[in-house]
Structure 1
Amino acid sequence: MQPTILLLAAAAAGTALAFTTNTPPLLTSLTPTRKSTTRLFGKSSDDNSSILKEGRLVEFTAGSGSGGGNSNKLGAIVGKEGKRNLKILTSTGRTVSVPPRSIKHVVPNGRVDTSDITQIEQHESAAASALSDDMAVGGQNVMEMWELLLEEEDATNSIDLVTISELLLGDSSSISCYATKVLLTEGVASYCFKELGGKLADLPLYEPRQVHIVENMRSRAEIEAKEASKWDELKQRIDDFSSNDDMVMDLKGESEEVQIALQSLESLACLANLSPEEMQREEKAASEAITCAKQFLQNVGRRATPEMARTMLVSLGINGWNKHTNMDLIRLKIPTAFDQYLEDAATEIAMNPPPDLDEDLRMDLTHLPAFAIDDASTKEIDDALSVEILSTDDDEPIHSRLRLWVHIADPSRYISLGSPLDKEARRRGTSIYLPTGTISMFPMSLASGILSLNPGEVTCALSVGMMLDNSGGIDEATPPIITPSLVKTTRLTYDQVDLLLDPFCMVDNEGGSSGVCESVENAIDMSIETAVESLRQLQYISEQRLQWRMDGGSSESISSYELPDMTVKATQSADAIDGWEIDIYAKNVFAANRIVTECALAANEAMALYGMTHGIPLPFRGQEMDEVSDDEINMTPAGPCRSWLAIQKSRPSQISTNPLPHAGLGLGMYVQGSSPVRRYADLALHHQIKSHLRGEKLPFPANDSDDDLGDTAATVIGIARKAALVARQLERPANDYWLKEFLQRKGTETTQVVVLSGDRWKDNVYKLFIPDFGAIFSYTSTTSLANGQQIDMQSRTLSELI
């Protein structure tokens, strides 16, 4: 680029001398002579209205309401807006309204025809060209003028912009004055002159800074320029990676500072799917990483927002981020894998099991058919069901001849309290079930291996045997049996059990099968006749138990229909959109589900009774329900709406070391102990009961134990509460995310929804239910909706409501 020609004029003589920056002159001979202060500095009016007239060119602060960013813009005043604001025309042809305080500079001699925006464009173009030329010569022209002015005897005096424009660019036109102003404030050597503040004036004033100040500012500017250059280079590389889907940024090739900054983006990005209120709380208590991430985004010219952080991580592929990365897992610091030393410990236990502390107490129940009923995809098999026939006397009632056995996996047989695996399970608190897979509490080699009730093997269990009275309650005359045991299970899925219980599944006299039962014949190691008989006995018990709980006022007494659970599976597939295949369906409650649920509830009630009877502190769970009248039930449509009514009447559950009634289940007391492979609180309960059976000191004594210096029953309650909270924070949002994605993919397809009820706290807000998927969500309607009303909605529209 041809160097800019510097014109220095001796203002008093009106002479000018031109020279190129390639041949610097002796500036001392060209010092302008000042005739009078009045001429050089002009006259400033205290009344802004005298200069803020129509047609005046001004620089103003442009905030978010006037065109992005908080930078200065150039425009021409076209009039007033309201009592105080000014209407300003910009070079884009847009008119904005700004208060007078936003006017930062009035261009000397700057009056334009407001019908011609090209005049504004000319000023901006001249300023841009001046900055470009200034950059090319490293600010040398401004520096030389500054040195010239400093040599004057009155160098401490201020000088007006018109005079500087004449000295620097050779004329005082409004275009030159504006270009000069931009050079003094934004150019390479902008540190040479100080713009004097105060009231707006026709002739803005500047003061040459002293040498030591300029040197300090120049040194700082050079450092900042070097830093800016580094960020500009990084910004370009980020842009290149972001625009190429096949490129992934390798952090190892970046400086440590950049690596830390890029990794800090995760902390900020993980706020992107929070509610505005939650996001505000998180950002208010901003961690160092979030602060670092925001500064990094600003340095590379991006908005410092969680969504921008997420977008950048996905576009760069950092740490494996993609569109579907689960941000809650990262935000909550949930471990998704086990350290190698824990995997090694799991392998060692499987190969060399520790001595069985309960060997002398274990009851051999391998002669009883034991059915482990669960989903086909379940790997942690933690319970199985048996029916023991105590008498063949047909004159006795059937309930008096049957003992229900619930066999629960016995991980406490292998996992010692205080061991590394126990500490890790305690830290995790629970297995987490996400659409993309399970994050197990124990290494899966253990959870689905020696800790589970795997079919065809003799496995250790904690078995609960119960006799029921004629109403379905646990027989008080025959206390439940709780014992370590040995069992041999048969694995069946819910669908297989429902098939076997189907009345059309015919069994001939020789034990053979026909029809639909043939699909499960290979799944059992006994005759189908034996299996069907045992399952029908379990079905009888479950129906008896359900009726007994309903008589006790359980939520099922309001509605026998149970809302289905939403089952969401997201599986990686090269042939699917975005590489993910999504399957969502409602898991309805049939006979098999009812059998498992009722038998597990009975076992949990029996363990609660055992704890109360023997004074063992356990994590007892309770729940209260609001009263509901018969009229309220009758006015609510049967089916999903009544089930939702029951849910609305249920208060939050409680956990205590003292027995509590559980109104929602219709039980006088209740614990959870049927999933020790999946929940640490259940495992702790097993340790409590088994220690009592062995006559040993309880590992989790009562809170008021005088000799206790370690864990207490309150510790277990704290673990249970924390685990439940973590599961809620992860499982529901993950299901909602994939449901939203699923509905978006269905586009304009129609999905049927059912109105469950109006929101109790918000007007015009309703709870809707999608029967096909088991999903429930809120919906705001401007028209009144009736409970039970069915509505057809576009799937894409539904996705926006999730």
Structure 2
Amino acid sequence: MQLDSLVIFKNRPARVIGFVDKKVEIQLEDEKTVKLPEKNLLLLHDGGFKKFEVLTTDLGEGELIDAWGLLQGAKTNYSELSELIYGEYNCTTVYGTWQIVQKGLHFFAHEDEIGVNTPEAVDDIIKQAQEKAQKAQALETFITRLKQKTYAPEDEPFVKELASYALGQAAGCRFFKLIDKEETPVNAHALLLDIGYWDEFVNPYPMRLDAALQAPVFELPEMQSQSRVDLTHLASYAIDDEDSHDPDDALSFDETTQKLWVHVADPASLVDVDGEIDKEARARGSNLYLPEGVIPMLPHQITEDLALGLHPTSPALSIGFKLIDGEVKNIEIVLSTIKVTRLSYQEAEHKLTEAPFSHFVCFSNEFSSYRRMHGAVELQFSEVKLKLRDKKVNIIPLATLQSRNIVRDAMLMAGVAVATFADQHEIPLPFSTQPEHDLSEEEQTPQLMSEMFATRRRLQKGQYKSSADRHAGMGLNAYVQATSPLRRYLDMVVHQQIRRFLKSETLFSGEEILMRIGESESGIKAARQAESFSNNHWKCVYLMQNPNWQGEAVVIEKQQGNRVTVFIPGLSLIKKLTLAESAELDTTITVTLSDVKLATQDIYFRV
């Protein structure tokens, strides 16, 4: 290599202008200079290269086809190929030859030699290039239509790619940089709505949040054999929502012993510890409750076999106890057989003056008083239930019924009983705990809506522990959720552990309990997030179906200027609004629907 040689550096022509410290100094077309080892350069012409202008001459293809045919089955170099194509070898022709080789159609560069493509290879390269061009044209046409908020049947592969991203099944989507929009699943959802590929009845959130969308399907093992206490002589009542299909708890009162019994469905008798059903339920963490329906964590057949009141008798884990000065005492936990009558909350509401329901009321009242005396925080928020039927969304306010409070308190008492029993016998469980709060007595029982929300914000987050500890918000010294093993995985872990204790089998260690808590957390989080986003989605759809909606809102927080946060009881919805004038806390105002943005779940009201 000598001065004024024509070389290629990073696919750009360059001129050799010197040699410094075993390096070659080159000048690029923009007059920048670079020093680098000779091995980093491709030599095209040794000397004679003075001006870059000679490289701009359009030589055409010359005798390209003849040269290609002549060299079939051989290898060549730049000087020989230049002479065959253009009749001579100089800086201009060799650079034109290099450009032909770079195209890769008839020739290709391989180390220091130039290879020759066969006719079959050329045909294949041309075909691939045509297909690439067609795909590029199809993409360009799709992007044009996408900007115009439409699509054609031939765009289906592209639209499915967009939908995959909106559903969280792809990490990204290449179209957004082409339409100058931020790349987010929310924007993908909005585009799919804009072009009409999706409508409002597509709920992307369960899949986007990786929640399980189908019931698990497994062959069920045989029911574990065990002796059971016959409690069929007790009148047991499963009280639940009218449309509930998985009752997993029931109440009864024993007049002889004066004990309240909480009976709980017994899936632990059927689900083998660490078996495939157990591991699948652990991964899911809980049932998924959507307005569209329920996706259970356990196979449907388990619910059909073990839910209380679906058969003449039911196997159960029964928890009996008394209240002494509000404290849960004289605890008894047994594997049982019970006979259950199912009631709705409304039906139970009309029986509260009759036995045994009157006893349920007494237990509930005494226990509630005890919890309040020990720091329990009582918050009463309006709740609604969403139902989707035949593409119509209904929002149903949950009536404030004493029967609901009775069942809630019974489940809390049962949780205290199991936690106390476990603490006394040193049984590790997933105990629910919450650090102490610093609320005053008045703040623990807020009466106004704004006070309730302010109190809720001050409560610390609860956490699971493998040993008993206080749950300050409930006013309880020990508590464990144990009454929904068909619906919550950690409740089933409680049952598995208690069953092991009752049968004198080896218990899970505290570390094993914590491991099960950790392994179920992601599934529980996915289910709760999917439920929250899905409920908001269907609230948006409900308002789209009722564009003239109007309702009451309560001011729960004042912000800067006339900005306020309101709670809308009829929708169980919190929103920020700007008022025309200042409003005091707990003022009730009328709001009217203004607009709904489904993909972003933004709802706008005017006052």
Q: TM-score, normalised by structure 1?
A: 0.56
Structure of higher CA gyration radius = 1
Query: Given the alignment, which residue of 300, 310, 319 partners 1:444?
Result: 300
Preserved contact between residue 234 and residue 300 of structure 1 (Cα < 8 Å)? no
- Structure 1 unaligned segments of length 5 or more: list them: 1-152, 165-206, 252-257, 272-286, 391-400, 504-531, 574-579, 704-711
Report if aligned partners of 1:585, 1:773 keep a CA contact under 8 Å in 2: no
What secondary structure does 2:317 align onto?
A: strand
What is the CA-CA distance between 1:304 and the residue it aligns to?
5.6
Partner of 1:599: 410
Letter aligned with residue 229 of structure 1: Q
Q: Where does 1:672-711 land on structure 2 (aligned, <5 Å)? A: 672-698=481-507, 700-703=508-511
Is 1:389–1:403's contact at 8 Å kept on the other side of the alignment? yes
Q: Which string of whole-angstrom CA distances, capped at 9 and with x for unpartnered residues, describes residues 421-456 of structure 1?
A: 122111111101111111110122322x11211245
Higher relative contact order (CA 8 A, sep 6+): 2
- In structure 2, C-alpha distance between the alignment counterparts of 1:229 and 1:404, rounded to whole Å: 75
Distance 1:606 1:218, change over 3 A: same
Aligned to 2:275: 419
Residues 367-386 of structure 1 aligned to structure 2 (within 5 Å): 367-386=233-252
CA shift, 1:764, in A, is 6.5
Match of 2:308 among 443, 448, 453: 453
Q: Which moved more, 1:412-421 or 1:450-459?
A: 450-459
Give the partner amino acid of 1:333: D
Instruction: State the alpha-carbon separation in 2 of the partners of residues 626 and 300 from structure 1.
Output: 51
- Note the 1:307-318 alignment, pairs <5 A: 307=186, 309-310=188-189
How far the C-alpha of 1:326 sits from its partner, in A, is: 2.8
Does the C-alpha gap of structure 1 residues 564 and 650 become closer, same or farther in structure 2, counting only changes over 3 Å?
A: same
Q: Does 1:650 align with 2:459?
A: yes
The answer to whether the 8 Å contact 1:364/1:485 transfers is: yes
CA drift at 1:269:
1.6
Q: What's the CA shift string for 1:99-155, capped at 9, x where partnerless?
A: xxxxxxxxxxxxxxxxxxxxxxxxxxxxxxxxxxxxxxxxxxxxxxxxxxxxxx999
Aligned partner of 2:53 in structure 1 is 157
Rounded Cα–Cα distance in structure 2 between residues aligned with 1:551 and 1:459: 37
Given the alignment of the two structures, is residue 354 of structure 1 paired with residue 220 of structure 2, yes or no? no
Name the CA shift for 1:793/1:224 in 2 (closer, same or farther; >3 Å): farther
> What corresponds to 2:137 in structure 1?
232
Q: Contact 2:263 / 2:319 at 8 angstroms: preserved in 1?
A: yes
Instruction: Give, in whole Å, the separation in 1 of the partners of 2:573 and 2:430.
Output: 31
Q: Is the 8 A contact 2:443 2:455 kept in 1?
A: no
Is 1:736 aligned to 2:536, yes or no?
yes
Structure 2 residue identity aligned to 1:726: A
SS of the aligned residue for 1:371 comes to strand
Shift of 1:462: 0.2
1:485 correspondence with 2:381: no
Structure 1 pair 789–713 and aligned structure 2 pair: CA distance change class (3 A): same
State the one-letter code of the partner of 2:189.
R
Q: Kindly state the Cα deviation for residue 226 of structure 1 after the two structures are TM-superposed.
A: 4.7
The C-alpha deviation readout for 1:250-301, integer Å capped at 9, x for no partner, is 97xxxxxx6xx76553453246xxxxxxxxxxxxxxx9x434x31x666899
CA contact (8 A) 2:561 2:582 kept: no
Instruction: State the secondary structure of the residue aligned to 1:335.
Output: coil
Q: How much does 1:215 deviate? A: 2.0
> Which amino acid letter does the alignment assign opposite residue 697 of structure 1?
T
- Tell me the distance in 2 between the aligned counterparts of 1:738 and 1:701: 43
Alignment partner of 1:756 is 2:560: no
Structure 2 Cα separation of the partners of residues 432 and 462 of structure 1: 24
SS in structure 2 of the partner of residue 550 of structure 1:
helix
What corresponds to 1:614 in structure 2?
425
The equivalent position to 1:494 in structure 2, one of 329, 345, 348, is: 345
* Cα distance in structure 2, aligned partners of 1:462 and 1:268: 45
Contact 1:567 1:773 in 2 (8 A): no
Partner of residue 550, structure 1: 372
- Take 1:388 and 1:415, find their aligned partners in 2: how far apart are those partners? 30
Tell me by how many angstroms 1:552 deviates: 1.2
Tell me if structure 1 keeps the 8 A contact 2:285–2:521.
no
| Of 366, 386, 396, the match for 2:232 | 366
Measured against aligned partners, the alpha-carbon deviations of 1:374-428 in whole angstroms (never above 9, x if no partner) come to 11111111100001112xxxxxxxxxx6210000000011111122212211111
Q: Distance in 2 between matches of 1:545 and 1:584?
A: 32
Distance of aligned partners of 1:405 and 1:322 in 2 relative to their CA distance in 1, 3 Å threshold: same
2:385 is the alignment partner of 1:567: yes
Q: Is the 8 A contact 1:681 1:719 kept in 2?
A: no
CA distance in 1: counterparts of 2:163 and 2:537, whole angstroms: 19
Q: Contact (CA 8 Å) 1:619, 1:717: kept in 2 or not?
A: yes
Provide the C-alpha distance between the structure 2 equivalents of 1:683 and 1:721, rounded to a whole number of angstroms.
14
Q: CA deviation at 1:225?
A: 6.3
Distance of 1:768 and 1:299 partners within structure 2:
40
Residue of 285, 289, 307 corresponding to 1:433: 289
Distance 1:474 1:301, change over 3 A: closer
Who is 1:800 aligned against? 603
Residue 584 (structure 2) aligns with: 786
| Aligned match of 2:18 | none
Report if the CA contact (8 A) 1:623-1:654 is conserved: yes
Superposition map of 1:465-484 within 5 A: 465-469=320-324, 471-475=325-329, 479-484=330-335
CA contact (8 A) 2:215 2:300 kept: no
Separation in structure 2 between the aligned mates of residue 388 and residue 240 of structure 1, nearest angstrom: 72
- In the TM superposition, residue 593 of structure 1 has moved relative to its aligned partner by 0.4
Q: Report the CA distance shift for 1:250/1:689 in structure 2 as closer, same or farther (over 3 A).
A: farther
Tell me the SS of whatever aligns to 2:305: coil
Counterpart contact for 2:554–2:566, Cα < 8 Å: yes
After the TM superposition, which of the residue ranges 424-433 and 792-801 deviates more from structure 2?
Answer: 792-801
Does structure 2 retain, via aligned residues, the 8 Å contact 1:264–1:290? no
Structure 2 gaps, min length 5: 1-48, 59-91, 106-124, 597-601
Structure 1 residue 696: Cα displacement: 0.6
Structure 2 Cα separation of the partners of residues 219 and 300 of structure 1:
32
Distance 1:247 1:442, change over 3 A: farther
Distance 1:244 1:666, change over 3 A: closer
Q: How does 1:93-242 map to 2 (within 5 A)?
A: 157=53, 210-216=95-101, 226-233=131-138
What secondary structure, in the 3-state scheme, does the structure 2 residue paired with 1:354 have? Answer: coil
Local SS of the residue matching 2:306: coil
Please name the residue that 2:17 is paired with.
Answer: none
Question: Does residue 290 of the first structure (1) align with residue 171 of the second (2)?
Answer: yes
Relative to structure 1, the CA distance from residue 772 to residue 665 in structure 2 (aligned partners, 3 Å threshold; closer, same or farther) is same
Distance in 2, Cα, partners of 1:772 & 1:230? 51
**How many residues were matched structurally?**
499
Confirm or deny: 8 A CA contact 2:284 2:520 kept in the other structure: no
1:144-181 CA-to-partner distances (Å, cap 9, x unmatched) read xxxxxxxxx99952799xx99xxxxxxxxxxxxxxxxx
Structure-2 change in CA distance of 1:455 and 1:264 (3 Å): same
Which residue of 1 is the match for residue 361 of structure 2? 539
Q: Which residue of 2 aligns with 1:123?
A: none
> How far has the Cα of 1:680 moved from its partner?
0.8
Q: Calculate the TM-score normalised by the size of structure 2.
A: 0.73
Summarize the Cα distance change of 1:453–1:317 in structure 2 as closer, same or farther, 3 Å threshold. farther
What code does the residue aligned with 1:480 have? I
Cα RMSD (Å): 3.8
2:171 aligns to what SS in structure 1?
helix
Equivalent position amino acid for 1:642 in 2: E
Matched, 1:389 2:286: no
Give the superposition deviation at 1:647. 1.6
What SS class does the counterpart of residue 682 from structure 1 fall into? Answer: helix
Comparing 422-431 and 208-217, the one that deviates more: 208-217
